[in-house]
Amino acid sequence: MTPIKIVILGANGQVGYELQRSLLPLGEVIALDRIQADLTQLEKLKQTLLDLKPDVIVNAAAYTAVDKAEEEHELAMLINGTAPGVIAEVAKQLNALLIHYSTDYVFDGTKKEPYTENDTPNPINVYGKTKLAGEEAIKKIDCDYLILRTTWVYAARGHNFLKTMLRLAEEKEELSIVADQYGAPTWARNIADVTAHILATAQKEQKNDKFISGLYHLCATGKTTWHGFASAIIEYAKQLESADIIKTKKVLPIVTDDYPLPAPRPKNSQMESSCLTARFGISNPEWDVAMKLCIDEVQEKQ
């Protein structure tokens, strides 16, 4: 396969950081952080991409402060809703492929079964509304695109639920965690590795004039609650060499109403990813398997 030029936006984020490693075998990778590619400076962003002339743009940049978005609606919409459309325009002009990440928060969480790509979005918070606007903006532009919705993302770096639980486990004997929201915790490294496979496949499809733009769900296999996730994190941490620093003895289940937040969360964030598997022949591992590998990495860095 001919080496390609790939530009990653959001290089310092959880997924963006992992993408730099996963995409490297596919060609020249140019990773741009918030300073180099500011999604609030649209004209400058557009010119930067036009100057680089990438074959692929991977947009891992986003406004992710879910609760703060309730107050910063315009900023969140600019970054999550408007900027993806501008990036899509550049992709069309350059005849480049755009890979963009979205979220389970485009759904309201009232469905009992896992959500499919055919289910109608109905976001219940500002963050979800802005991410849905980004999806729609990309679709309106006639460029080659792949939108990948993921859920409950965590990594060994950055701020996320897994790292927060490991920190709290060293400080508190008892934790109270929400137990009535369901989803599949998804490791950023798995997202990046699957993206690399998807990109390689997409390049072959484009070469053979068989590429079709589309939206897919990309998440770990299985399901749990935030309480189940927290319990699994702490139980595994207790099995490691650093077990003596774990103070938490109880992880108590609570309901969403017991822990009110500015932005409402969907009760059901499960997403069906069989369409991704059918087209690209790959899927993510069980959520708890990936979780253990991530915790191992966190421990190694300490």
How far is the first Cα of the chain from the last one, in angstroms, to the nearest whole number?
A: 39
Measured distance CA(219)–CA(153) in Å, rounded: 9
Indicate the SS3 state at residue 47. helix
Q: Which helix (H) or strand (E) holds 186?
A: strand 186-187
Contact 228, 179 (CB under 8 A): yes
The structure tokens 């984020």 sit at: 13
The sign of the torsion formed by the CA atoms of 271, 272, 273, 275 equals: negative
Largest CA distance in the chain: 59
User: What single letter denotes the amino acid at residue 81?
Assistant: G
Measured distance CA(106)–CA(135) in Å, rounded: 10
CA nearest neighbour of 62 among 107, 14, 21, 27: 14
Active site residue 127: yes
Measured distance CA(68)–CA(189) in Å, rounded: 26
Measured distance CA(199)–CA(302) in Å, rounded: 33
The structure tokens 């990036």 sit at: 87
Phi then psi for 155, rounded to 5 degrees? -160, 175
Of 17, 127, 145, 154, the active-site residue reads: 127
Catalytic residues: 127
